[in-house]
Amino acid sequence: MLDLYTWDTPNGQKGRIAVEESGLACKLHAVNLQAGANVTAEYLAISSSRRIPALVDSDGPGGRPVTLIESGVIMVYLAKKTGSPFYPSDYREQLEVDQWLLHGQSTFGPGVSPLAHLENRIQGDHAAAKAFFRGRAERLYETLDLRLAGRAWLALERYTVADISHLPWVNRAADQRIDLARYPNVKRWLDAGLARPAVQRGLAPVAG
Ligand SMILES: N[C@@H](CCC(=O)N[C@@H](CS)C(=O)NCC(=O)O)C(=O)O
């Protein structure tokens, strides 16, 4: 049995999409970040970083329970557990997937996430900071658009965890005031990802 602790944020949605794609039974636990539900002693016992998502698998490696943080680890773990092609067993393919998985986890997500905060939450001018973060994010969308020119998916010729890693962020391009019409390859790829039923279920509100 799986238990996923999550919230309606891009990193939380990656965990949910990975669970949905795995087809495994999973109990969802909504961790309301706005209410501080992640900074409690109870949640610290589950997530050592006090962040979402966190996954508990009662039937982990060796038949013993395992608790995992980090959406990238959770995506790879579930793909390996189910033997799914979303994370390949071939080493060369793994290297392709790892590069674009880490791009999503450590470059794209952290690069575009400040935009929604800058636009929606920071009052006042701060023109230099806004221009800096906007320029950085636009360059990341351009990188994806270049990568996706003539390709269906980011890492391999098929959908992988590297695509899941980027999808929830790009799905929020409007919040980041990014116009996807400027990035037609990204728009085509996003539409293909959003057509997957597991992605649609993974993006649905966690609290129902
Ligand atoms: N690299 C981590 C990032 C997780 C993360 O930053 N989660 C955010 C929500 S998207 C969170 O839990 N924030 C609450 C906090 O920092 O207090 C992952 O991919 O799982």
Ligand 1 site: residues with CB under 6 angstroms?
A: 9-12, 33, 38, 50-53, 70-72, 105
Q: Does a structural domain hold residue 151?
A: yes
State residue 33's pLDDT score: 96
Q: Does a structural domain hold residue 107?
A: yes
Q: Is the pLDDT assigned to residue 125 strictly greater than 80? A: no
Percent of the chain having pLDDT more than 90?
89
Residue 171 shares a structural domain with residue 76: no
Q: Does a structural domain hold residue 142?
A: yes
Domain count across the chain: 2
Of the candidates 143, 148, 138, the one whose C-alpha atom is nearest the C-alpha of residue 185 is 148
Residue 68 shares a structural domain with residue 140: no
State residue 116's pLDDT score: 79
For the residues 180-208, what does the mean pLDDT come to?
96
Could you tell me the distance, in angstroms and rounded to a whole number, from the CA of residue 86 to the centre of ligand 1? Answer: 23
Residue 79 shares a structural domain with residue 96: no
Q: Is the pLDDT assigned to residue 2 strictly greater than 90? A: yes
- Domain boundary pick from 30, 60, 86: 86
Q: How far apart are CA 73 and CA 55, in angstroms?
A: 10
- Domain boundary pick from 54, 86, 118: 86
Could you tell me the distance, in angstroms and rounded to a whole number, from the CA of residue 172 to the centre of ligand 1? Answer: 16
pLDDT digits (tens, 9 = 90+) for 14-60: 999 999 999 999 999 999 999 999 999 999 999 999 999 999 999 99
Mutate to test the pocket of ligand 1, among 51, 75, 78 (most ligand atoms within 8 A of CB): 51
| Alpha carbon nearest to ligand 1 atom 6, residue | 51
| Alpha carbon nearest to ligand 1 atom 13, residue | 51
Pick the range with the lowest mean pLDDT from 58-72, 109-123, 180-194. Answer: 109-123
142: confidence class by pLDDT, cuts 50, 70, 90 = very high
CATH number of the domain within which 40 lies: 3.40.30.10
Residues 6 or more apart whose Cβ sits within 8 Å of residue 109 = 10, 11, 165, 166, 169
- Domain boundary pick from 86, 101, 117: 86
State residue 130's pLDDT score: 83
Residue 113 shares a structural domain with residue 171: yes
Q: Which atom of ligand 1 is nearest to the CA of 70?
A: 20
Could you tell me the distance, in angstroms and rounded to a whole number, from the CA of residue 90 to the centre of ligand 1? Answer: 30
Q: How far apart are CA 163 and CA 155, in angstroms?
A: 8
For the residues 167-183, what does the mean pLDDT come to?
97
Q: Does a structural domain hold residue 110?
A: yes
Residue 165 shares a structural domain with residue 108: yes
| Three-state DSSP class for residue 90 | coil
Residue 126 shares a structural domain with residue 165: yes
| Alpha carbon nearest to ligand 1 atom 5, residue | 51
36 burial type by CB count under 10 A (0-12 exposed, 13-18 middle, 19+ buried): exposed
CATH number of the domain within which 155 lies: 1.20.1050.10
State residue 122's pLDDT score: 67
Share of the chain residues as helix, strand and coil, in percent rounded to the nearest 5: 55, 10, 35
Residue 56: strand pairing partners: 3, 67
| Three-state DSSP class for residue 204 | coil
Range of the domain at 6: 2-86
Instruction: Give the mean pLDDT of the chain.
Output: 95
- Using alpha carbons, list the distances in angstroms from residue 26 to 70, 89, 153, 206: 17, 24, 27, 12
| Three-state DSSP class for residue 54 | strand
The single residue listed with the structure tokens 């490696």 is 61
| Alpha carbon nearest to ligand 1 atom 1, residue | 70
For the residues 157-166, what does the mean pLDDT come to?
98
Residue 47 shares a structural domain with residue 131: no
State residue 70's pLDDT score: 98
